[in-house]
Structure formats: structure tokens, C-alpha cells
């Protein structure tokens, strides 16, 4: 085995990365929001492969959305809870720029990012009024395959 390389990011690189995220959020906010809103909804769709957060107003019109892939994670790292918390941070930044204070959170899916996304929203200072699980559950499911006879 060879030597292990430790990659260190400088302050300049971190500032550039945060500015890039802020530019993307500002661009979405300018295009999609016309009126300042105080209350909104966040839909968290967490699958085994990705985590997607959608910010809407109380009527359900989309104001901003982010996924783990759009934040910069690739491959299996998109499905981690850390990626979900980063996505939640960018959505909370969008909320602050729009002026949203209170959120209703609707969680769908079975992935690893369910709880970490909600925790990250709370840690960013958002006031969460309700958390609801809207994962679709089959009542009886599909008809099973016929029994194999040998």
C-alpha cells in the first residue's frame, strides 16, 4: 500500500464553494418567487439512491428545489445522511432569502436522509410546525406470481 494523501481545502476554496451555492440559490429565488411568503412546505423525498428537497408555498407552488446530486455529491455518496443534511442547509438558505419562517415538513421514502434532513432544518433555525410522513404504503399490493411446480 502506498502513502495516504490528505487533501486540505483552503479558506479561498471554501469561500468559492459557498458563493457558488449562494449564486444558484439566488438565481432560483429571483425566477420562481414573486411575493414574500412567511409560511411554506418542504417535501423531503428520500430514496435509497438520492435525497430531494422541494420548497413550496402554502398553495403548493414550487419556489426552490435541491437534490444531493445538484449540491455536488456523486454516486453512492448521494444516498448518505450527510448529503441530505447539506441539501437541507441549501434549502434553508433559500428560505431565508425568500423570507419564509415557518415550515410544514412532509417526508416520503425510506432512505437514510429522512431524519438528518429534518434535523438539519431545525439546526439552521427554521420553525417547523408539523412533520408528516406521506410514504405510500400498499394496502394489499400486487397479485403474487403463481407457484412454480417442478
Q: Strand (E) positions, 15-139?
A: 39-46, 51-57, 62-67, 102-109, 127-133
pLDDT in tens, 19-50: 766 666 555 555 454 555 689 999 999 999 99
How far apart are the C-alpha atoms of 8 and 31, rounded to whole Å? 36
pLDDT in tens, 53-103: 999 998 999 999 999 999 999 999 998 999 999 999 999 999 999 999 899
This prediction has a pTM of 0.71
Per domain, the residue ranges of the chain are 37-133
**Residue 141 binned pLDDT confidence (cut-offs 50, 70, 90):** confident
pLDDT for the residue numbered 11: 74
At the top level of CATH, the class of 37-133 is alpha beta
Amino acid at each position: 500500500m502506498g502513502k495516504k494523501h490528505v487533501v486540505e481545502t483552503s479558506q479561498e476554496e471554501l469561500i468559492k464553494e459557498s458563493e457558488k451555492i449562494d449564486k444558484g440559490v439566488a438565481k432560483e429565488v429571483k425566477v420562481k418567487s414573486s411575493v414574500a411568503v412567511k409560511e411554506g412546505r418542504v417535501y423531503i423525498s428520500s430514496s435509497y439512491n438520492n435525497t430531494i428537497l422541494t420548497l413550496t408555498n402554502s398553495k403548493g407552488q414550487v419556489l426552490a428545489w435541491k437534490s444531493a446530486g445538484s449540491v455536488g455529491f456523486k454516486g453512492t455518496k448521494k444516498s448518505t445522511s450527510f448529503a441530505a443534511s447539506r441539501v437541507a442547509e441549501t434549502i434553508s438558505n433559500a428560505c431565508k432569502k425568500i423570507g419564509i419562517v415557518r415550515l410544514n415538513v412532509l417526508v416520503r421514502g425510506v432512505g437514510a436522509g429522512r431524519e438528518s434532513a429534518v434535523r438539519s432544518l431545525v439546526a439552521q433555525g427554521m420553525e417547523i410546525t408539523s412533520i408528516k410522513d406521506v410514504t405510500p404504503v400498499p394496502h394489499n399490493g400486487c397479485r403474487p406470481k403463481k407457484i412454480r411446480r417442478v
